[in-house]
Amino acid sequence: MSAYARIEINPKVMLGKPVIRGTRITVELILRKLSEGATHRDLLDAYPHLTEQDIHAAISYAADAVAHEETVLVEPRG
């Protein structure tokens, strides 16, 4: 299963935030836990429905989202 096949965006699930398909585990939660120092093993233990491939899919999805961001600098007038 490809990384994007593991990610689901549905307005009826977690207000449309990207989640691991078939769960309510958001990509944001996975990234936040990893940034706080959690290991993959910590996540797998805390969320039994999560797989190693799901964690990699979340990271890949986030990397792609950031890669496609546009930054617009606006300078104040006057």
Q: Confidence class of residue 70 from pLDDT cuts 50, 70 and 90?
A: confident
Domain borders along the chain are: 4-67
Residues 5-32: pLDDT tens digits? 999 999 999 999 999 999 999 999 999 9
What would the CATH number be for the domain defined by 4-67?
1.10.10.10
Q: Determine the pLDDT at residue 72.
A: 87
Are the beta carbons of 26 and 19 closer than 8 angstroms? yes
Cα 25 to the chain's mean position, in Å? Answer: 9
Report d(CA 22, CA 28) in Å as an integer: 16
Please tell me the pTM assigned to this model. 0.85
